[in-house]
């Protein structure tokens, strides 16, 4: 299959992440090209080259991971949202996954999720999971998305 055919078959969360990588790469390439065209010193556009290389490598890794389906999908219901005391930023979410409590660290300071909302969590196969007081704790994940109420089992 060609890239775009494979891209269309990926879950939406991976499509959005890959699209973000592509847009960032194009913007950085244009900016680096402007620096080269204006004859800036190498030190001015070297950070852009490093970022482009990182985005390309990470995008390739993410695409291969998604197309070869080397990830785990966990569906559950948001049981609670824990926030920091003063600034009220989201610290972590707790999901109820088939009667088991799973706690995930929030990657954002805000959350559009609410209690009792069905969520889908994407994990790499090698994602470490540790247990503390009967709660499964996950520090890193590939993505999380809200599900419509009807698709949750």
Give the tokens for residue 144: 């999380």
**Average pLDDT value for residue range 128-151:** 87
**Average pLDDT value for residue range 107-133:** 87
Check residue 2 and give its pLDDT.
85
Q: What is the pTM of this model?
A: 0.81
Which of 114 and 15 is assigned the larger pLDDT?
A: 15
Using one digit for the tens of pLDDT, what is the confidence trace for 17-37?
Answer: 999 999 999 999 998 888 888
**Average pLDDT value for residue range 49-58:** 94
């Amino acid at each position: 299959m060609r890239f775009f055919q494979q891209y269309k078959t990926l879950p939406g969360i991976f499509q959005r992440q890959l699209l973000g990588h592509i847009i960032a790469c194009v913007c950085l390439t244009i900016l680096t090209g402007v620096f080269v065209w204006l004859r800036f010193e190498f030190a001015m556009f070297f950070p852009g080259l490093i970022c482009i290389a990182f985005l390309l490598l990470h995008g390739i890794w993410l695409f291969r991971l998604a197309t070869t389906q080397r990830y785990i999908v966990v569906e559950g219901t948001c049981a609670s949202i824990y926030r920091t005391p003063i600034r009220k930023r989201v610290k972590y979410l707790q999901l109820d996954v088939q009667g088991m409590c799973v706690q995930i660290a929030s990657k954002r300071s805000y959350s559009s999720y609410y209690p009792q909302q069905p969520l889908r969590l994407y994990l790499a196969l090698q994602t470490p999971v540790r247990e503390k007081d009967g709660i499964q704790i996950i520090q890193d994940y590939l993505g999380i998305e809200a599900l419509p109420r009807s698709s949750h089992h």
